[in-house]
């Protein structure tokens, strides 16, 4: 089902959490709301669920205005960050809860059959009799997902679904959630502050800041063409240099970088990812002194101090022989330029 | 081996066991010993005398009614105190503890003054044909007063710790308010309610000061067991007093055992495995 937010506003006491957000989620799409804490991403998700009411604007489910429909009638599946499993019910009872309280009466056998089907979907066959306290965090989150799916929701909403899990478990669950989504084709919105998670999992990423959408697009679009410095920095490590734009060329310490169209002449910020910088003994480049080298499994991370005072971090191949105290030049392979 | 901040097992166990022995076990043992010095036939005739039986009945029945009333009212009070923010909330919260702080005899005298036929409440109620002072209803009210904090104070912390996401999850799954209360909130509160219930009931069984002023103390109708024990003591009939007290003691024990068992059943889900 298509979900459409039209100029949605939410204010808590005096704090405006969401400033007129408009967003369309296509039917069957998997979308990530990405932003730092306080960006309003969870509030937006909770308004779509009906757990919070919008102070202004409308939320449409398909053609229906769902803005004032209470959560219990809205037909959404919600997965909470800390699972919110009912501790006194077994895994099977948790999954069956939605069906047992539904207005649509189902027989015990029908519910049991559907619960088994869902247990199979989330690969927890045989754990139906356990209590939540008796299974691992990753298993709990899968139970929470099965429970959310049990009511055949029109849309699946996940609030930081993997936030409380170990890195390894997180990685597996991410891939597995994508598989389930592809299998069921249910419209899904999830909230995260982890850019890697959003880029790995989503068809489309919506980046939020201070209750407003800063940019939305496919992972490729937002990575390759960040609209502003905030998006660029939020998506990953970046080095910042101050330069000057003239005639479509940004100059920093004697090095020229092509600026995108529309960057006005004048002072500018130049951002480069650690992979976009390199080290050479001779110029042209920003002259710098290496202050530390960090060895990592796949590369060496060099931290160097530029003659202009900035700290630059970049990755070089593992074989490169660089030590602290070396002087030389940092070369720019690729960079993004934004006017200040 | 784990190093603890407080002194080791031997010392702390020694001190606590000695204390429990001195303050709790010794008096109870003396009570049992005294009661046991009676022959079985004599013991039975004392504890099953009509006057004693009538006192058990009025005591247990009043305690039961008072506890059930407090179960509902105490839960409601705990709910309001944890879920809502209103002016004067902290004052109400502090007032819950007053029955603990107030000498029970003072409570008894004030209740009697309020509920006697010319008191503020009593005059209105007696016009409506309801006599409270010097009847079992008076006993119940006194018991309600003294045992209210138990339910509120056992349920309150559990309610405060209840994750609001549980209710939201149940709502998103389509549960109505009543269903959520019955199937999610109440089961999670049950262990705390049982603990409060057993404390409240045990306290009501043994309550003395608050009741004797309002009860009228008519043998066979409004004489509570604790008073009957007191009367036997005043008659220097220590054995009979101990015998009747042992019945109260056994009842309280049985009550605690049953609620503990129910509690562990209700908490099965917390067992790791």
Contact assignment for B174 to A102 by CB distance below 8 Å? yes
Q: Kindly state the percentage of chain A with pLDDT values over 90.
A: 26
pLDDT of residue B7: 66
Residue to test with chain A: of B165, B167, B173, B271, most A Cβ within 10 A: B173
Chain B hits for A98, CB-CB cut-off 8 Å, are 173-175
pLDDT of residue A236: 87
**CA atoms within 13 Å, Cβ hemisphere of B272:** 1
- Nearest Cα neighbor of B66 from B206, B187, B170, B174 is B206
Chain A hits for B173, CB-CB cut-off 8 Å, are 72, 97-98, 101, 147-148, 150-151
- Across the range B213-241, mean pLDDT stands at 89
Q: Confidence class of residue B272 from pLDDT cuts 50, 70 and 90?
A: low
Mean pLDDT of chain A: 87
Contact assignment for B172 to A77 by CB distance below 8 Å? yes
Does residue A306 have a pLDDT over 90? no
pLDDT of residue A326: 86
Contact assignment for B169 to A84 by CB distance below 8 Å? yes
Tens-digit pLDDT profile for residues A8-40: 888 888 788 888 888 899 998 999 999 988 888
Contact assignment for B271 to A133 by CB distance below 8 Å? yes
**B170 at interface of A, judged by CB pairs closer than 8 A:** yes
What is the distance between the alpha carbons of residues B71 and B57, in angstroms, rounded to a whole number? 21
Contact assignment for B174 to A78 by CB distance below 8 Å? no
pLDDT of residue B273: 54
pLDDT of residue A95: 93
Does residue B1 have a pLDDT over 60? no
Tens-digit pLDDT profile for residues B149-182: 999 999 999 999 998 899 999 999 988 899 999 9
**How far off is chain A from B257, nearest CA to CA, in Å?**
22
Contact assignment for A97 to B183 by CB distance below 8 Å? yes
Tens-digit pLDDT profile for residues B76-117: 999 999 988 899 999 999 999 988 888 888 988 999 999 888
Tens-digit pLDDT profile for residues B113-133: 998 888 888 888 888 888 888
* Peptide bond before residue B201 is cis, with ω within 30 degrees of 0: no
Within 10 Å of residue B245's Cβ, how many Cβ atoms?
23
Chain A hits for B175, CB-CB cut-off 8 Å, are 72, 97-98, 101
What are the φ and ψ backbone dihedral angles of B66, each rounded to 5 degrees?
Answer: -60, -40
**How far off is chain B from A62, nearest CA to CA, in Å?**
19
Q: A62 CB contacts (<8 Å, ≥6 apart)?
A: A1, A2, A154
**How far off is chain B from A35, nearest CA to CA, in Å?**
22
Where does A122-155 have alpha helices with state H? 137-149
Domain ranges of chain B: 51-272
Query: How many cross-chain Cβ pairs, A to B, lie less than 8 Å apart?
Result: 81
- Across the range A156-166, mean pLDDT stands at 86
**B188 at interface of A, judged by CB pairs closer than 8 A:** yes
Tens-digit pLDDT profile for residues A204-223: 999 999 888 999 999 999 99
Tens-digit pLDDT profile for residues A67-109: 888 888 888 999 998 889 999 999 999 999 998 888 778 888 8
Structure tokens at A172: 């597996």
Contact assignment for B163 to A84 by CB distance below 8 Å? yes
**How far off is chain B from A9, nearest CA to CA, in Å?**
21
CATH value of B51-272 in 3.20.20.140, 2.40.30.40, 3.40.50.2300, 1.10.3720.10: 1.10.3720.10
What is the distance between the alpha carbons of residues A104 and A215, in angstroms, rounded to a whole number? 41
Cβ atoms of A294 and A307 closer than 8 Å: no
Q: A287 CB contacts (<8 Å, ≥6 apart)?
A: A253, A306, A307, A327, A328, A329, A330
Nearest to B269 among A50, A71, A133 (CB): A133
ipTM above 0.90, yes or no: no
**B269 at interface of A, judged by CB pairs closer than 8 A:** yes
Contact assignment for B173 to A147 by CB distance below 8 Å? yes
Q: B9 CB contacts (<8 Å, ≥6 apart)?
A: none
For residue A49, the chain B residue with the least C-alpha distance is B172
DSSP B221-232: TT--HHHHHHHH
Chain B hits for A106, CB-CB cut-off 8 Å, are none
- Nearest Cα neighbor of A210 from A51, A43, A60, A6 is A43
Task: Tally the residues of chain B.
Answer: 273
Residue predicted with more confidence, B270 or A324: A324
Taking an 8 Å Cβ-Cβ cutoff, which residues of chain A contact chain B?
Answer: 49-51, 70-74, 76-78, 80, 82, 84-89, 97-98, 101-103, 130-134, 147-148, 150-151
- Across the range A160-182, mean pLDDT stands at 85
DSSP chain B: -PPPSS--HHHHHHHHHHHHIIIIIHHHHHHHHHHHTS-HHHHHHHHTSHHHHHHHHHHHHHHHHHHHHHHHHHHHHHHHHHH---TTHHHHHHHTTHHHHS-HHHHHHHHHHHHSTTSHHHHHHHHTT---TTSHHHHHHHHHHHHHHHHHHHHHHHHHHS-HHHHHHHHHTT--HHHHIIIIIHHHHHHHHHHHHHHHHHHHHH--HHHHHHH---TTTT--HHHHHHHHHHTT-HHHHHHHHHHHHHHHHHHHHHHHHHHHHHTGGG---
Rank B2-6, B73-77, B258-262 by mean pLDDT and report only the highest. B73-77
What is the distance between the alpha carbons of residues B75 and B159, in angstroms, rounded to a whole number? 10
**B172 at interface of A, judged by CB pairs closer than 8 A:** yes
């Amino acid at each position: 089902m298509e979900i459409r937010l039209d100029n949605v506003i939410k204010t808590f006491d005096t704090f405006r959490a969401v400033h007129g957000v408009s967003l369309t989620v296509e039917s069957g799409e998997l979308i990530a709301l990405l932003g730092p804490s306080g960006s309003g991403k969870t509030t937006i998700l909770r308004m779509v669920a009906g757990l919070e009411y919008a102070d202004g604007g409308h939320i449409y489910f398909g053609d229906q205005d769902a803005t004032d429909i209470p959560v219990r009638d809205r037909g959404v599946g919600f997965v909470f960050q800390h699972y919110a499993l009912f501790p006194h019910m077994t895994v099977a009872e948790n999954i069956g809860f939605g069906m047992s309280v539904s207005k649509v009466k189902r027989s015990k056998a029908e519910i049991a059959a559907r619960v088994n089907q869902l247990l199979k979907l989330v690969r927890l066959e045989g754990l139906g009799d356990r209590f939540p306290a008796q299974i691992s965090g990753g298993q709990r989150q899968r139970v929470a997902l099965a429970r959310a799916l049990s009511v055949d929701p029109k849309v699946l909403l996940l609030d930081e679904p993997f936030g409380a899990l170990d890195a390894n478990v997180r990685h597996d669950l991410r891939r597995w959630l994508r598989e389930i989504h592809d299998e069921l084709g249910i419209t899904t919105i999830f909230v995260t502050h982890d850019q890697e998670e959003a880029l790995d999992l989503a068809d489309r990423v919506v980046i939020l800041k201070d209750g407003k959408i800063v940019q939305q697009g496919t992972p490729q679009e937002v990575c390759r063409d960040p609209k502003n410095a905030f998006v660029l920095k939020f998506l990953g490590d970046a080095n910042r240099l101050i330069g000057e734009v003239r005639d479509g060329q940004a100059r920093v310490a004697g090095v020229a970088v092509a600026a995108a169209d529309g960057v006005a002449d004048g002072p500018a910020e130049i951002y480069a990812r650690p992979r976009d910088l390199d080290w050479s003994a001779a110029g042209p480049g920003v002259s710098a002194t290496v202050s530390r080298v960090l060895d990592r499994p796949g590369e060496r991370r060099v931290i160097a101090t530029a003659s202009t005072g900035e700290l630059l971090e970049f990755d070089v191949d593992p074989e490169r022989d660089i030590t602290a105290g070396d002087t030389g030049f940092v070369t720019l392979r690729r960079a993004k330029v934004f006017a200040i | 081996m784990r190093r603890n901040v407080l002194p080791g097992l031997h010392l702390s166990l020694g001190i606590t066991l000695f204390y429990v022995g001195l303050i709790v076990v010794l008096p109870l043992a003396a009570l049992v010993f005294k009661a046991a010095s009676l022959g079985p036939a004599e013991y039975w005739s004392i504890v099953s005398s009509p006057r004693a039986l009538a006192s058990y009945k009025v005591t247990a029945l009043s305690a039961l009614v008072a506890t059930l009333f407090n179960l509902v009212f105490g839960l409601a009070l705990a709910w309001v105190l944890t879920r809502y923010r209103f002016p004067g909330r902290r004052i109400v919260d502090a007032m819950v503890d007053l029955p603990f702080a107030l000498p029970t005899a003072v409570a008894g005298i004030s209740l009697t003054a309020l509920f006697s036929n010319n008191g503020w409440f009593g005059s209105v109620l007696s016009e409506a044909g309801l006599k409270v002072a010097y009847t079992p209803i008076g006993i119940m009210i006194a018991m309600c007063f003294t045992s209210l904090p138990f339910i509120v104070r056992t349920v309150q912390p559990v309610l405060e710790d209840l994750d609001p996401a549980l209710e939201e999850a149940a709502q998103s799954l389509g549960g109505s308010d009543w269903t959520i209360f019955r199937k999610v909130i109440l089961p999670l509160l049950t262990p705390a309610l049982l603990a409060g219930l057993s404390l409240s009931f045990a306290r009501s069984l043994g309550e003395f000061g608050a009741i004797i002023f309002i009860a009228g103390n008519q043998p066979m109708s409004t004489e509570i067991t604790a008073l009957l024990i007191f009367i036997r003591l005043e008659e220097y009939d220590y054995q009979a007093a101990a015998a009747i007290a042992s019945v109260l003691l056994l009842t309280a024990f049985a009550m605690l055992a049953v609620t503990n068992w129910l509690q562990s059943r209700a908490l099965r889900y917390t067992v790791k495995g």
